[in-house]
Amino acid sequence: MATQDEIFPKETLQGTVDVDNADVDKLHKNAIGLPGVLYFCIAGSAPISAMLFNVQPMAAQAGATTPLVFLLAGLGLLLLGVSIVYLSRRLTSAGGFYTWVRHSLGRGTAFQAGWLMMGGYALFEAALLGAFGSYTNNSFSTYLGFHLFGGWVTYALIGAILIFMLSYFDVKWSVYAMAPFLILEVGILVILDLVISVHGGASGHDITHTFTAAGASLKGAAPGGLLGIGIAMALGVWSWVGFEAGAVYGEEARNPRRAVPIAIFSVIAFLIVLYVWTAYSATIGVGWEHAVDKFGTASLPYYTLATQYVGGWLQALMIVAISTSALACGLAFHNGMVRYLYAMGREHILPPRFGKTHPKYRSPHIAILAQSLFSIVIILAFAFVIQKTNADNSVSYALGIPDGKVYTQTDGINPYTWLATTGTIAFIIVYIMVNISAPLFALRFDKKSFNILRHIVAPLLSTLTLLIPLISFVMPAIPGPIGNFFTDLGFAATPFPTNILPLFVLIWIVAGLIYAFYLSRNTPERYEGMGRIIRGDVD
């Protein structure tokens, strides 16, 4: 592999600072190895939550072809991994995508990449805390008859405190504390998949209807067919969101130019196998011909499959793992967020105090406190969101105190959906930026390694895959004929408040543009310094 001097000629290195030599507060160097980075990548995707809550609506859209949908979505993200691996082997920083875009597309685009990732990560922690609160509250109240004052909100606040405590200390404690629960959730899925596969499902194995478009035209699939496959890919791609969490540990991982790319690429590949296998097992578990009526429209079908094929004990473990998965995922996003805050703080793009680290634990403790407080404020705000069901079964939302008759408190799963959708839109935009950055970086600094397949074909195909969920989230939400056109095609209609979520991303982008303009005019030295601090150990 090329050395830093070969990739960055001396004239292009002006203004680039090695973190190992810079006069900045440093994170705990070499704190985690490859297993730790792997943990954060897998935890960020929350496999059991992705399977239990995404496969079912995908089956309703694409019938028996959900395994094919996951395969196609996974290949698109694997191609994104090609760009991520290429850049992470040449630039390692707590800034992650922000740093890569800086050296490829320039300061302005880099700021937007960091701004979008920061906003997405901030929302995702609050989203996962909402899910954690909802799952935990429902489990205790349903199965144990225990009702905690405040319901899901109280559990979410407890989760926020736990995440703060785990992240405040050395980063490796996050791994030690939550890795066993990650093993539990993956183990549950593998056991269920293995038993169903060995048993042969309800009526035997089937490849024809699960891995070709033949299974997408089942009665009841909406919209079904090739369009159903394309629309279901939106949730397919969403199931991977969070895998990039390992990118921000370039300054804390041992041998980061090896650990980060191996972790990210191998996690994408591992999740392809796990997701395709789990979707396939569920499909044959009910019988491919019943993928819609007995799975896509059923209530908690994975619980039924666990009890039917393995036993009630697996369902019980599944109930526990849903809560711990949400918490582990929230911790992964929390850690990612604070490292973006830290990276932009030490470069004075944001207030410099965010770039401070704890004198003993070397954790970005100021950023950790700020992010935790932000999540708590978001949770408390959603505590006052109430809802009522109208005569036509539509739902109306308002702010206030529930009266228990007309209005009830909205469940934490609703804030999860709203916040996660908003964050995913932001992430996909940055993923596309990374696909554009890889070939430009190679042409600018690393022409010897330029390769058509790696730098043109892979980023292009990946971008086309990523545009599918982006279109499904954004286009139907546009009012008037354009939104109606995409809804008529079969994309999910976007009622309030889902229809305004893309607007929040647009507002965040505009706010970032205004702030970047302010920096460039009033403090140009800070604007010029964006993304210029990288870790100095080059292979």
Find, among 304, 324, 320, the residue nearest to 312 by Cα.
Answer: 304
The pLDDT value recorded for residue 407 is: 92
The pLDDT, as a whole number, for residue 11 is 39
CA pair distance 264, 241, nearest whole angstrom: 12
pLDDT at 10: 40
CA dist., res. 273 & res. 270, Å (int): 5
**pLDDT value of position 5:** 46
| Segments in the chain below pLDDT 50 | 1-6, 8-15, 536-539
Given phi > 0 = left and psi -120 to 50 = alpha, else beta, which region is 72?
A: alpha
pLDDT at position 15: 47
pLDDT of residue 538: 38
Distance CA 182, CA 322 (A): 10
Over residues 265-314, the pLDDT tens digits come to 899 999 999 999 999 999 999 999 999 999 998 888 999 999 999 999 99
Q: Name the token pair of 101.
A: 């875009």
Give pLDDT, residue 116: 93
Mapped onto helix, strand or coil, the DSSP state of residue 386 is strand
| In contact, 84 and 431? CB cutoff 8 Å | no
Task: Please report where in the chains the tokens 């970047």 appear, as a residue.
Answer: 516
Q: Return the pLDDT at 440.
A: 93
C-alpha 82 chain-centroid distance: 18
Res 385: pLDDT: 94
Residue 4 confidence (pLDDT): 46
In angstroms, what is the C-alpha Rg of the chain?
A: 23
pLDDT of residue 511: 95
**Structural domains of the chain sorted by starting position, each given as residue range(s) with its CATH number in brackets:** 28-106+113-354+417-473 (1.20.1740.10), 378-410 (no CATH)
Contact criterion met (CB below 8 Å) for 93 and 10: no
What integer pLDDT is reported at residue 92 of this predicted model? 67
pLDDT at 234: 84
